[in-house]
């Protein structure tokens, strides 16, 4: 996902060097007072991950004069620690067995340990963001509030009179796009970019963040190669764009799929049948088309930014975020 790869070696080297430092700092930030907590706190980050948010911080920072500042590294560590912290909680809430190809933390230890480790990482993110000033702390706190509210809204579902699709898009914006927007905003901000550029980065991040999550939800159904158990959302009856489109279509020939979606999917063979039917459904192509349309619209948001290699890399991200298969 290093979209910078094709944009000339100097720029690529700068981005890679930054990401290498960020990687080391992430592991350092996860060090705890006991080896057991350190191991648990490094568990999800050790298993891999795309480091999409640190990449956005680094790319957005290129639009400011202070892009070599140490604060860029700190901002990237803050957003990735926050993201990883949220995954510990998310896997408990989703009852997910695997994450990034590894056993999920609550399976390896227990729910309460996984939840506390998430809190520990969030505490570490909070300490580092305090070094970036009160405005960064405020942004981080508001992002945290959106993450949590998005996750709650997903859990409780839409009100009876609400549009389920709009509810889902609001959930996606809060639980995922918020932190991706903050990544781009903080990158631009700590590098000293002007207010208009910070605003442009925040809006770009909000949109690509939504594309990222909608795309992730499609891949969760269509790929066996995500490092997660396929169909987790389906099993937990978490609505996603494809399943919402199936419901909206209301085709008579979907009776079996709809019954499965509303039934007990705890049995692996029954879940596999539901995934198989969903993979063949036109809703998958419709969802993909919607994601591509949104990605193209997001790319146009970059038009007024200076034509530097980081802008090309951000444009390239709009392609890779929808073309990835895992
Ligand atoms: C993954 O969603 C989860 C999120 C995008 C955010 C979850 C937020 C919380 C649990 C709030 C708590 C936050 C902190 C910082 C402690 P997903 O289940 O759709 O994605 P997945 O397929 O990767 O599991
Ligand atoms: Mg999940």
Domain 5-323 CATH class label:
mainly alpha
Residues with Cβ–ion distance below 5 A, ligand 2 = 90, 94
Beta bridge partners of 102: 99
CA of 90 to the centre of ligand 2 (A): 5
Pairing relation of β-strands 98-99 and 102-103? Answer: antiparallel
CA of 114 to the centre of ligand 2 (A): 14
Locate the domains of the chain by residue range. 5-323
Smallest CA-to-CA distance from 177 within 187, 188, 169 is with 169
CA of 98 to the centre of ligand 2 (A): 10
For residues 153-180, give the mean pLDDT. 97
Q: Best of 175, 205, 210, 222 to mutate for ligand 1, by most ligand atoms within 8 A of CB?
A: 175
- Give the model confidence (pLDDT) of 139-148 as tens digits: 999 999 999 9
Q: Is the CB of 146 under 6 A from ligand 1?
A: no
- Structure-token match 């998310």, residue found: 90
Separation CA 23–CA 99 (nearest Å): 19
Separation CA 216–CA 68 (nearest Å): 32
CA of 163 to the centre of ligand 2 (A): 23
- Give the model confidence (pLDDT) of 72-124 as tens digits: 999 999 999 999 999 999 999 989 999 888 999 999 999 999 999 999 999 99
Please determine, for residue 285, whether its predicted confidence score (pLDDT) is greater than 50.
yes
Smallest CA-to-CA distance from 243 within 260, 223, 266, 268 is with 260
Q: Is the CB of 147 under 6 A from ligand 1?
A: yes
Q: Is the CB of 111 under 6 A from ligand 1?
A: no
Please determine, for residue 15, whether its predicted confidence score (pLDDT) is greater than 50.
yes
Model pTM score: 0.95
Q: Best of 85, 96, 151 to mutate for ligand 1, by most ligand atoms within 8 A of CB?
A: 151
Percentage of the chain with pLDDT > 90? 88
pLDDT at position 8: 53
For residues 48-53, give the mean pLDDT. 94
């Amino acid at each position: 996902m290093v979209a910078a790869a094709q944009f000339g070696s100097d720029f690529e080297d700068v981005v890679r060097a930054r990401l290498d430092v960020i990687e080391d700092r992430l592991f350092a930030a996860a060090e705890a007072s006991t080896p057991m907590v350190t191991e648990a706190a490094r568990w999800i980050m050790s298993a891999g991950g795309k480091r999409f948010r640190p990449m956005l911080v680094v790319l957005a920072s290129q639009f400011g004069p202070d892009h070599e500042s140490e604060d860029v590294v700190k901002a990237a560590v803050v957003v990735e620690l926050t993201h990883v912290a949220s995954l510990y909680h998310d896997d408990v809430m989703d009852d997910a067995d695997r994450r990034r190809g590894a056993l999920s933390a609550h399976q390896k230890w227990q729910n309460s340990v996984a939840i506390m480790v998430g809190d520990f990482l969030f505490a570490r993110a909070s300490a580092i963001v305090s070094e970036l000033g009160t405005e960064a702390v405020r942004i981080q706190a508001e992002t945290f509030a959106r993450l949590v509210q998005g996750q709650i809204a997903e859990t409780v579902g839409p009100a009876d009179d609400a549009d389920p699709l709009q509810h889902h898009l609001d959930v996606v914006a809060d639980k995922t796009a918020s932190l991706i927007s903050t990544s781009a905003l903080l990158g631009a901000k700590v590098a000293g970019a002007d207010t208009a550029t910070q605003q442009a980065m925040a809006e770009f991040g909000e949109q690509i963040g939504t594309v990222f999550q909608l795309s992730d939800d499609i891949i969760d159904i269509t790929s066996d190669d995500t490092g997660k158990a396929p169909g987790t959302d389906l099993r937990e009856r978490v609505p996603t764009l494809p399943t919402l489109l199936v419901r909206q279509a209301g085709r008579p020939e979907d009776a079996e799929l709809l019954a499965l979606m509303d039934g007990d999917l705890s049995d692996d063979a029954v879940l596999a049948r539901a995934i198989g039917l969903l993979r063949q459904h036109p809703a998958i192509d419709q969802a993909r088309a919607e994601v591509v349309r949104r990605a193209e619209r997001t790319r146009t948001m970059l038009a007024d930014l200076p034509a530097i290699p980081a802008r090309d890399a951000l444009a390239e991200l709009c392609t890779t975020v929808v073309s990835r298969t895992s």
